[in-house]
Structure 1
Amino acid sequence: MINLLSRNILHLIVLLFILISCQNKNEKINEIKLTVNYIGDIEGDEVRLQKVSSDYSIELYKSESFNNNKIVFDISILESTLFRLDILGKESIDLILNNTDVNVNIDNSSSEFKYTIEGSYDTDVLNNVRKIISTYKYDIRQINQKFIKASQEKNSKLVNELRYDANILKIDFEKFLKNYLRTVDNSLAVIITSDYLDIDNNISFWDSTLIKYRDNFSYNSYFKSFEKKVNKIKSVSIGSVAPEIILSDTTGKDVALSSLRGKYVLLDFWAGWCGPCRMENPNILKNYVKYKNKGFEVYQVSLDRSRSDWVNAIKKDNLIWYNVSDLKFFQSEAASLYNIDRIPKGFLLDPNGVIIAKDTELRGNRLGEKLD
C-alpha cells in the first residue's frame, strides 16, 4: 500500500514537472498599473476597461469609479493586448498595454474632449496610424462629394478625372502607410493595422511583416490570428495553386475544379440573387463562346440557398458551363476556402491550376484582354 502511494506521488511530481517544463517560456505575467487622470466636471463616475480579443470580440475587464478625479486599474496580462477605455459612457480610448505602467490624462474642461497617453509606445503607433487613415478618409470624402455632384451634372470628363484622383490617392495612402509601418519597431499596433490595409492587395508587404514579427510574437494570440489570416489569403493569391473544390452540379454529379487542368479556367463565385453577378454573366458568356475552343473553361460556384433560384438563374442567363453549389450561401466551404465575403469574385487559373489574375482584373472588357 505504501509502495503504491509512493508511486502515485512520484507520478504526480513527474506530471507536475512536465507541465511546468512545457509552459511557454514567454508566458510571463506582467503586473502593471493604468492610471486615468481627469480634468473637468465628471457627469457620472464609472470608467469601464474592456479587453479587445484577437478575434475583436469585446469583454468587460474591470470597472472602476473616480476618486478625486483619478482611477488606478491594476492589470495582469500575459501578452501585449488591445484594451478600450469607455469613459463615462460617452467617449472611448483604444490603447495597447504590455509591460509598462501607462497614464491616460483626460481634459474635459472645455467643449472639446482631449486626452494624452504616456508610457505606451504601441499606443503611440496605433494613434499615428489612425491619423494617417483619418487624413486619407477625409480626402476621399472630398473627392466623393465632387464625384456625386459631377455625376448629377453628367460631367463625364470630371467623373473620369475624379476616379483617377481617387485611385492615385489610394495608391499614395497605401505607400505612405507601409513606409511608416516599416519604420516601426516590433509593435502589436502594426499587426492590428492589417484590418486597415487590405491584406489581399498587399500580400507581399504583410507576408514580409509576418516573417519579421515571428520571432518576438509567435506566442501572441493576435499574431497567431494574423498569421492564420495571411496564410489563408496567401493560398488564393496570384502565383498560388488554386485550392481544390469538389461540389455537385445541378444533376447531383460531383465536379472537381482540378479536373479542368490543362485549360485556362475562370473560377467565378456568383448567385442568382446577386444583381452585379447577373449583369456580369453576359460578359462571361461572350468570352466563353469566343475562347472555349481555344482551351478556355468556366467553373462557377453559386452561393445560392435555394436550388430553384440557382437553376432558374442558370437557364435564364444561358450559363452553358460547369455550375456547382452546396447551397450554403456564404457558409459554403468553397467560399470560406477562397475568403469570399462579397460577390461577384473571380480567379483566372492557368493550365497548371495556378492563379494568374483575380477580382476586378477579370470584370468587363478586362476578362477578354487577359484571355487574348
Structure 2
Amino acid sequence: MTHKMKSFLVMGALLGMVNACSKNTTPTTGTASTAAGYQINGQLQNAPAGTKLYLAELGDTQFVSRDTATVNEKGEFTFTGSVPEAGLYQVKANDQNQVLLVLQNGARVRLTGDAQKLSDTYTVQGSPDSEYLQRVSRSVLQSQRASQAAMPRLEQRYNQAAQAGRSDSMAAIQRQAEALQTQGQAEVRQLVRQNPGSVVSAFVVSGVLNPEENFGLADTVATQLKKTMPDSRYTKSLVARLEPMRATAVGSVAPEINLAAPDGKPVTLTSLRGKYVLIDFWASWCGPCRRENPNVVKAYNKYKGKGFEIYGVSFDQDRGKWLNAIKSDGLTWTHVSDLKGWESAAGQSYSIKSIPASILLDPQGRIIGKNLRGEALEAKLASVMK
C-alpha cells in the first residue's frame, strides 16, 4: 500500500493528541477567585463517588498536569483556577475517557457525559471555543472510524491488485481511500473558516489538517490571530510553523534549483520558464515513486508537445541506480540530482519530508498545484492547458 493510502488516519491526529500521556508533574490546585478565573462544573454518569479527574494543559509536545478534582456521590465535580491566556486543556478520568476543552479566565464551563464512554457522550456548554472544539472532535472521530472500518477491505483489494499488476484498479482503490479522508477534512475546514480567530483553529490547522496542503486557510487563521491574540503562544507557534512553507505555497514563485543532469552539466529550473513544469521529487529506491512513474509517463507523453515539461529531482545517492531507474522506467524528461539523498539541496529548500512529492508550475514559475497524482495530474493539466 502506498504512503498516500496509509494517510487514511491523518485525521486521527487530534484524537492522538487527546490520548497522549501527561507529563508527570505535581498537580496544582486552582487558587484564583471564581470571579477572576475559570470554573468547570460537571456531572458524570457511571462515576462512583471518590473518582479522581485530572486537568492537564496541552503544551508544545505533551500534556502538563494542572489540577485534580474528586467526584461526589451525585457524580458532580468542580475545577477552578486561573490561566495566563486562552488555551487547550484536557479533562481525563483515564486514558480511554478524556476530552479537550478551551479555558480562559472568566469562562464558566459545564461538562456532562458518561464517564465510561466520555468521548462519545460528553457535552460542553458555556464556552463557544469548547463547543467548537467538540464539533471538530466529533467530526475527526467519525472520519477516523469510517477510515478504520474501510481500511482492511481496501488494503486487501489494493494488495491483490498490486500482485496482479492491475495499476488501474490500484489507482481506483487509492482514490476511494483519499475520498474518505477528503470528506472528513472538508467538514473540519468549514468549521475553521467559520472560526478563524479561535485558538482551536490554530491547533486544528497545525495538528489536524496538513498546514502545507491547507496553507491558504492556515495563513488566514494566523493573520486573524495576529490581530486578535498577537501575544498568544498558539499564534506565535502557528506563524513560526507557516513561515518556512511560505516560499513554496501555492501562488508563490518556485525557488530556484540548480543541480547537475546525468551528463554532469547543471540545469536550472528557471531554464524551463515558458512551459508548465512538474517538479518531481523521487528516488530509485522509493517503491511508491516507482509505482507512480507510469502515471507520470502517461501525463508527460500526453502533454509534452503542448508546453509541458518535467524536472525530475532525485534523492538518490548511487549514480548507477539513479540512471538505471531512469532508463528502466522510461523517464525521458529532464533529470537532476546532487546525489545527497535526503540532504538534497533542492529537497531542503522545498522542505520535502516524503516522496513521491511534486509541484506544478505555470509558465511564469508560479506554483499552481502540489502532489498531484495520476488522474488528478492529468485533470489539472487539461484544465490549465486548454
2:315/2:337 contact within 8 Å kept: no
Match of 2:65 in 1: 61
Distance 1:108 1:213, change over 3 A: closer
What amino acid is aligned across from residue 280 of structure 2 in structure 1?
D
Say yes or no: does 1:186 pair with 2:197: yes
2:262/2:335 contact within 8 Å kept: no
Instruction: Report the more deviating stretch, 72-81 or 289-298.
Output: 289-298
Q: Identify which of 82, 86, 92 aligns with 2:92.
A: 86
- In the TM superposition, residue 129 of structure 1 has moved relative to its aligned partner by 1.9
TM-score normalised per structure 1: 0.67
Instruction: Give runs of aligned pairs for residues 185-334 of structure 1, distance below 5 A.
Output: 186-194=197-205, 195-230=207-242, 232-247=244-259, 256-281=268-293, 284=296, 297-304=309-316, 307-308=317-318, 311-318=320-327, 321-325=334-338, 327-329=340-342, 334=346
Deviations 1:130-164 (A, max 9, x none): 2233344455566667767988999x999999988
- In the TM superposition, residue 276 of structure 1 has moved relative to its aligned partner by 1.9
2:275/2:363 contact within 8 Å kept: yes
Q: Secondary structure at the match of 1:235?
A: helix
Distance 1:354 1:311, change over 3 A: farther
Q: Quote the Cα distance in structure 2 between the aligned partners of 1:247 and 1:371.
A: 28
Match of 1:15 in 2: none
Say yes or no: does 1:355 pair with 2:361: no
1:268/1:299 contact within 8 Å kept: yes
Say yes or no: does 1:133 pair with 2:140: yes
By relative contact order (CA 8 Å, sep 6+), the higher-ranking structure is 2
What amino acid is aligned across from residue 323 of structure 1 in structure 2?
V
- In the TM superposition, residue 333 of structure 1 has moved relative to its aligned partner by 5.5
Q: Quote the Cα distance in structure 2 between the aligned partners of 1:116 and 1:348.
A: 44
Match of 1:23 in 2: none
Deviations 1:1-44 (A, max 9, x none): xxxxxxxxxxxxxxxxxxxxxxxxxxxxx743445655522687
Deviations 1:61-120 (A, max 9, x none): 3253637577655544332211223324442221111222444645557x5445443432
**Seq. identity, %:** 26
Deviations 1:340-362 (A, max 9, x none): 33321112323432223332256
Instruction: Give runs of aligned pairs for residues 165-176 of structure 1, distance below 5 A.
Output: 176=187
- Structure 2: gaps of 5 or more residues: 1-35
2:269/2:311 contact within 8 Å kept: yes
1:48/1:60 contact within 8 Å kept: no
Q: Quote the Cα distance in structure 1 between the aligned partners of 2:94 and 2:204.
A: 27
- In the TM superposition, residue 280 of structure 1 has moved relative to its aligned partner by 3.3
2:314/2:335 contact within 8 Å kept: no
Deviations 1:259-282 (A, max 9, x none): 544554331111222112123345
What amino acid is aligned across from residue 64 of structure 1 in structure 2?
T
Q: Secondary structure at the match of 1:95?
A: strand
Q: Quote the Cα distance in structure 2 between the aligned partners of 1:208 and 1:103.
A: 28
Q: Identify which of 108, 124, 136 aligns with 2:131.
A: 124
1:43/1:88 contact within 8 Å kept: no
Q: Quote the Cα distance in structure 2 between the aligned partners of 1:290 and 1:112.
A: 54
Match of 1:95 in 2: 101
1:248/1:326 contact within 8 Å kept: no
Q: Quote the Cα distance in structure 1 between the aligned partners of 2:377 and 2:310.
A: 16
Q: Give the aligned length.
A: 334
1:191/1:222 contact within 8 Å kept: yes
1:282/1:317 contact within 8 Å kept: no
Q: Quote the Cα distance in structure 1 between the aligned partners of 2:122 and 2:272.
A: 59
Q: Secondary structure at the match of 1:77?
A: coil
Q: Quote the Cα distance in structure 1 between the aligned partners of 2:273 and 2:150.
A: 45
| Aligned Cα root-mean-square deviation (Å) | 4.6
Q: Quote the Cα distance in structure 1 between the aligned partners of 2:96 and 2:296.
A: 51
Larger Rg: 1
2:88/2:102 contact within 8 Å kept: yes
